[in-house]
Structure 1
Amino acid sequence: MSDEKEDARAPLPFRPTVFPGAAASVRPAPRPEPRRYGPFTRWQWAGAVIVVGGGLLFAAAMTVLAARWLLSLDALRDFTADYPGAYALPASAPVGIPAWLGWQHFFNAFLLVLIIRSGMQVRREKRPRAFWHPRRDRKGRITLTLWGHLAVDLLWLVNGAMYVVLLFSTGQWMRIVPTSLDVFPNALSAVLQYASLDWPTENGWVNYNSVQQLSYFAVVFLAAPLATLTGVRLSKLWPKNTPRLDRVITFEAARRIHFPVMLFFVVFIVVHVTLVLATGALRNLNHVYAAQGSVDPNAYADNWLGFGIFVASIAVMLAGWIAYRPRVLIPIARLFGTVTER
């Protein structure tokens, strides 16, 4: 074999019977990298949704079957008979949902939507478009996004304080604060009934079931204060040079807790709205939005007033979500300080 390298394009010593064509010397251009939305491409997201959705549907079906099997046992039937899902409130407990509670409910939901929106922006923002600072303190500069988040938080806290004051001054607190240890076995009974898709018999105008009561208590008296405390710890409102106070809740602990608390609110909203619509939409929406109800759970079943107000409130929330952007925030922020743009 010759040591010299043969020219690959030298003529063959015989007539070829198969010709390679242009592909032998011309390489096709590489295909462009598919566009990614986060970690996945569009088709990968579609596949993930199908796989995860199918898994959730299978898990839900198994949960329903397991719950129905459990409730078919004699011991569980006796348990649900003794604890139907709700216990009697004190005799002094008010009946009905007043109009102020409906307005508080809407305003709280509206502000919570903006808090989630602004919190997501704060978490994702890498290059702030604008900054805000007090007129007399240029060193206290924060991003416009963070200012908007804190401003909405403040409105939410004011609304929450008014809600708690009205709650205890009108006796409505007995509807969401457990007054008996029977709340726990009744809550377990209600969970089994929900899981079996055989909804617990209830009339929210008179009394919430125990799962609702514990959930509302957790949101108002546990999650909301925890979100407030961790939010203050992460902001410049936290007192400086207080090492003892800093050890009570460290900055890193607050950062790790604050975001999961927001996720808890998101999950609560999704589950709450789903069950409101699935367990008697017209009746439930009339209770909370139209302040209409009766000791008869079937009253106002064909009244669409509450549903209409609910749809209007969703439209307002969507409008607030869309409008929450620098173009709208900047003129509002300038009423309370100075805004500088990049």
Structure 2
Amino acid sequence: MTQIVLDYPAWLRIDHWLNVLFLTLLLRSGIEILSTHPKLYWREDSKPGTEWARFTTKTMPTDKLYDTLDEEEDYSPLVALPGHKKLGWGRHWHFISVIGWVLVGLSYYILLFATGQWHRYWPHSWATFVEAGNDVLTYMTFNLPPLLPNEPLDAIQKLTYAGVIFLLAPFQILTGAAQSPAIEARFPWFVRLWGGRQSARSLHFLGLVAFLAFIAIHVSMVFFWGWGQLNASMIFGSVRNVTLGTVLSFVIIGAIVAIHVAATVWSLRRPVQVRRILGAVITRARLMLLRPLDSRQDYPERMISEEHRVNGKPPCSAQYKVMAVHNFVDWRLRVGGLVEKPVTLDLAALRALAEPQSQRVLHNCVQGWSSIGEWKGLPLAALADLVRPLPQARFVCFLTMQDTGRDEPSAEGEGQFYEVMDLELAYKPQTILAYEMNGKPLPIKHGAPLRLRVETQVGFKMAKWINQIEFIDDHRGIGYGLGGWREDNVHYDKDVEI
């Protein structure tokens, strides 16, 4: 067997094991996120039937209204974190792992170049590519190819590491960022670089598959080249104390597995605690990096989606049905709370308040699907200027006519649907109270007579069937106090720029 000469510095060994931890957390939480809409598209409208890949056996009805929550799959905790259709917790683990992985990656890149270790992984000659082809043929005969001169890797290993370090890892970060509503809203050109939001999601998934393939091949190569020697080098920095190195490597792997088990059990048993602790870090990073971004979307009319998926079922109360039959002439919007001038408006008065604002924008659902629509309505800032919030007002609460226990009994909770957002979002350029969609009165299934549009946020924040708006200083006394019905019951984040 070829003699292996390795000399891994301490920082590289530490980063290696941290990378294993965060990457595996990302993989499992990513599978959880995929489970909530287990279909992949290239087209921006996510039109049913146009998916290029699906990981579900469900068939949706064509003769009655269904919403996208009906498309969720229940993946096992053995593969998903935490599993069992827990998107809220999956998002928390995914984003905290992103933060950890990026920080580890930054330290890795800085030290890689500062210490000259990058030469080990960068192909300096085209001959390396030719030799890599020969190495593949050698591996296919179940033999080991020779190492490159004065290097610890063969040619195909060197190219593989270069691809993962310098291409695949940045690729995953960039395609992940392209799925952020705030980034998409502020920098539409960046998302178009990837072919659109759905293309970015599909490419991100393919990147996940590439990482899985790399892990499988990498572990196989460790066995082929010498499990004991390579593990010892990743523990001690060089090939020595092989037995102890092997034992310690299994201890570290066991600790990583234990962290996964603990994360799964913790999420399923103490979800509020998970949300509070992980959310404290995630929210701070999100507000610092993404909250300052304003939406600048203006999609061409030709890109408007033929079909806009439905999330959430309309109110089925007799009162709502009567209002709908009469085109909502009896509907009223009550606006109050911590304001100088509370008002009650009918639809005509609301329309007359200010010049309507139209915007053709991309709708980003928390489940992963998207569509492009044209929305027209009253800028929320104009309504705020009318009622004049008091200085102590910090949030806006949107109350709706939907009662989930009555209208959507399959939902994971009951009570009036509501959402809370920070007051500063009311003054964002494309935050409106929409009463028209694609040039027509707002359809019932999409929130008639009034819904919120705040284009730097994920779709579930855009409350539908609104009949009351309250300006408040604290949302902890509403519902379970977490900032919205979905936040209370399925533990989504209150602030969702991604």
TM over 0.5, shorter chain = yes
Structure 1 unaligned residues grouped into runs of 5+ = 1-84, 86-93, 129-141, 294-299
Number of the residue aligned with 1:281 = 227
Paired residue secondary structure (2:242): coil
Instruction: Say yes or no: does 1:341 pair with 2:488.
Output: yes
Q: Per-residue deviation at 1:303?
A: 2.1
Residue 224 of structure 1 pairs with residue 169 of structure 2? yes
What's 1:235 paired with? Answer: 180
Task: Tell me the alpha carbon deviations over residues 34-86 of structure 1, each in whole angstroms, 9 at most, x when there is no partner.
Answer: xxxxxxxxxxxxxxxxxxxxxxxxxxxxxxxxxxxxxxxxxxxxxxxxxxx9x
Q: What residue number does 1:174 align with?
A: 119
Report the counterpart of residue 35 of structure 1 in structure 2: none
Deviation for aligned residue 1:320: 2.1
- In 1, the alpha carbon distance for the partners of 2:262 and 2:191 equals 37
Shift in CA distance, 246/284, structure 1 to aligned 2, threshold 3 Å: closer
Name the residue aligned to 1:159.
104
Equivalent in 309, 322, 330 of residue 261 of structure 2: 322
Q: Which amino acid aligns with 2:8?
A: I
8 Å CA contact 1:204–1:287 kept in 2: the answer is no
How far apart, in 1, do the equivalents of 2:151 and 2:203 lie?
35
Q: Is the CA contact (8 Å cut-off) linking 2:92 and 2:275 kept in structure 1?
A: no
Query: Residue type of the partner of 1:257?
Result: L
Q: Deviations over 1:221-253 (max 9, x none)?
A: 111111111101112451524343332221021
Report the counterpart of residue 96 of structure 1 in structure 2.
Answer: 7
Distance 1:116 1:205, change over 3 A: farther
Residue 97 of structure 1 contacts residue 205 of structure 1 at CA under 8 Å; is this kept in 2? Answer: no
Q: Is the 8 A contact 1:96 1:206 kept in 2?
A: no
The alpha-carbon deviation at position 106 of structure 1 amounts to 0.5
| Cα distance in 1 for residues equivalent to 2:260 and 2:6 | 35
Tell me the amino acid that sits aligned with residue 22 of structure 2: L
- Determine which structure has the larger strand proportion and give its number: 2
Shift of 1:201: 3.5
- State the match for 1:113 in structure 2: 24
Residues 126-275 of structure 1: matches in 2 within 5 Å?
143-202=88-147, 206-249=151-194, 250-275=196-221
Moved more, 201-210 or 118-127: 201-210
After the TM superposition, which of the residue ranges 180-189 and 198-207 deviates more from structure 2?
198-207
Structure 1 residues 278 and 253: alpha-carbon distance in aligned structure 2, compared to 1, 3 A threshold: same
Given residue 243 of structure 2, which amino acid in structure 1 is its aligned partner?
A: W
Secondary structure class of the residue paired with 1:234: coil
SS in 1 for 2:203: helix
Question: What is the alpha-carbon distance in structure 2 between the residues aligned to residue 97 and residue 331 of structure 1?
Answer: 38
> Partners in 1 of 2:34 and 2:197 — Cα distance?
16
Query: What CA distance in whole angstroms lies between the structure 2 residues aligned with 1:109 and 1:201?
Result: 27
After superposition, the Cα gap between the structure-2 partners of 1:180 and 1:204, relative to the gap in structure 1 and judged at 3 Å, is: closer
Residues 132 and 155 of structure 2 are in contact (CA less than 8 Å); yes or no, is this contact kept in structure 1? yes
**How many Å apart are 1:167 and its aligned residue?**
0.4
Whether contact under 8 Å (2:29, 2:94) holds in the other structure is yes
Point out the structure with max Rg over C-alpha. Answer: 1
CA 1:246 to 1:193, structure 2 compared with 1: closer, same or farther past 3 Å?
closer
Q: What's the RMSD between the two structures over aligned residues?
A: 2.7
Higher helix share: 1
When residues 201 and 233 of structure 1 are mapped into structure 2, their CA distance, relative to the original with a 3 A threshold, is same
Shift of 1:205: 9.4
Code of the aligned partner of 1:111: F
The residue matched to 1:177 in structure 2 has which SS?
coil
Cα shift at 1:204:
11
Count of residue pairs brought into register by the alignment: 230
Bigger shift: 152-161 or 323-332? 323-332
SS at match of 1:280: helix
Percent identical pairs in the alignment equals 27
**In the alignment, is the contact (CA less than 8 A) between 1:110 and 1:317 conserved in 2?**
yes
Q: What whole-Å deviation, never above 9, does each CA across 1:188-209 have from its counterpart, x for those lacking one?
A: 1211221111212449994211
Identify which of structures 1 and 2 has the higher relative contact order when contacts are C-alpha pairs closer than 8 Å and 6+ apart. Answer: 1
* Contact 2:235/2:249 (8 A) holds in 1: yes
Judge conservation of contact 2:176–2:200 (CA < 8 Å) in 1.
yes
C-alpha change, 1:204 and 1:322, in structure 2 (3 Å) is: farther
Change in 2 beyond 3 A, CA 1:277/1:122? same
SS of match in other structure, 1:113: helix
Residue type of the alignment partner of 2:238: Q
Distance 1:308 1:248 in 2: 47
State the TM-score, normalizing by the size of structure 2. 0.43
2:89–2:275 Cα contact (<8 Å) kept? yes
CA contact (8 A) 1:115 1:149 kept: yes
Q: Is the 8 A contact 2:122 2:162 kept in 1?
A: yes
Given that 1:190 and 1:200 are in contact with CA atoms closer than 8 Å, whether structure 2 keeps it comes out as: yes
For 1:131, the equivalent position in structure 2 comes to none
